[in-house]
Structure 1
Amino acid sequence: MLTVSEVEALARAAHEGQTDKAGRPYAEHLRAVADGVRERGGDDEQIAAAWLHDSVEDDALSAQWLHEAALTGRTKDIVLAVTKRKGEEPTAYARRILAAPGALLVKEADLAHNADPARLAVLDEATRTRLTEKYARMRALLGLMEPNRTADSDRDSPKQP
């Protein structure tokens, strides 16, 4: 099985040269999601999935690569659960995430970084508003509290199904 460090290196190489909407290296987002999973108590399978969470969706790695990779079945299931499919309704996407053990924590960390006000601040107002609403809708579909909660309310945050 690949170690988390090996998965990180693979993910960084796969997304090399890719940037986010703000023009930042995409690996910064991957690092933030992996760190967010770790901080939320995620295990190595979830952390590995966090590093790979956008790889198939962004065509950085193929679904065939994922199928053949030396990863646990759970890690592969999490990556596939959080991979959006073209034309898929948000409710179907949310149901798939909720049905895959461990995937909710990865998506929660992803949404938290995506909705980070500092990250959104560099975008134009229309894009910022559109993305903020999109992330809030997904959080609601997943039953997650809003990201601006206090540390005490973190204990109430839903965990993996």
Structure 2
Amino acid sequence: MADLDEALVLVATHFRGVRDKAGLPYVLHCLRVMMSVDSLDAKMVAVMHDLVEDTAVTMDDLRQRGFSETVLTALELVTHRDADSYQDYVVRIKDDAIACEVKLADLCDNTSPSRMLLREGREDRDTARIQKYLLSYNFLSDQIDQPTYRRRMTAIANA
């Protein structure tokens, strides 16, 4: 059975040399999200939350390495596929406790003042992304209901 050590090695290997928008090693984001959740299963999902979405690693690769179905199910949910709208992706996460915990930690890290950028010439796009993340956090933490979430997300997309 694959464990947290295996997840850490995969993330360190596949994100080696990758930088975030601020120019910092991307793996630091994965580690911060991991440190913000509680259980070992959630930590594995958290550290790998962008692995399938942003690298050549597939769910089948992880299954063959021996990650549990609990981890794989939550990881599949937090992996945003191009075919899914962001709204549908976030709504899908809500019913899985581990996926929801990980996505909330991811959103917190993504909206941290130390990571938010308003890039010159891209202020509108960056502001819309921040609004999208904050609304998603509000929805996943039960501060707003699904119809309100969808309506407000649509308004942001159409602005």
Instruction: Pick the TM interval, shorter chain.
Output: 0.7 to 0.9
Q: CA deviation at 1:128?
A: 3.6
Q: Is the 8 A contact 2:42 2:102 kept in 1?
A: yes
Partner of 1:111: 107
Q: Is the 8 A contact 1:90 1:138 kept in 2?
A: no
Partner of 2:154: none
AA matched with 2:27: A
Count how many residue pairs are aligned between Structure 1 and Structure 2.
140
Unmatched 5+ stretches in structure 2: 144-159
Aligned with 2:132 (options 131, 134, 153):
134
Partner of 1:94: 90
Q: CA deviation at 1:104?
A: 0.5
Q: Is 1:67 aligned to 2:41, yes or no? A: no
Q: Is the 8 A contact 1:91 1:141 kept in 2?
A: no
Partner of 2:20: 20
Unmatched 5+ stretches in structure 1: 146-161
Partner of 1:30: 30
In terms of Rg, which structure is larger? 2
Distance 1:19 1:60, change over 3 A: farther
Q: Is the 8 A contact 1:32 1:113 kept in 2?
A: yes
In the alignment, the residues of structure 1 paired with residue 129 and residue 102 of structure 2 have an alpha-carbon distance, to the nearest angstrom, of 19
Secondary structure of the structure 2 residue equivalent to 1:18: coil
Q: Is the 8 A contact 1:4 1:48 kept in 2?
A: yes
In the alignment, the residues of structure 2 paired with residue 144 and residue 15 of structure 1 have an alpha-carbon distance, to the nearest angstrom, of 33
Q: CA deviation at 1:92?
A: 1.6
Identity %: 30
Per the normalisation by structure 1, the TM-score is 0.78
Aligned with 2:141 (options 140, 143, 146):
143
Aligned with 1:56 (options 46, 52, 56):
52
Distance 1:67 1:2, change over 3 A: closer
In the alignment, the residues of structure 1 paired with residue 45 and residue 33 of structure 2 have an alpha-carbon distance, to the nearest angstrom, of 10
Q: Is the 8 A contact 2:11 2:48 kept in 1?
A: yes
Per the normalisation by structure 2, the TM-score is 0.79
Q: CA deviation at 1:36?
A: 1.0
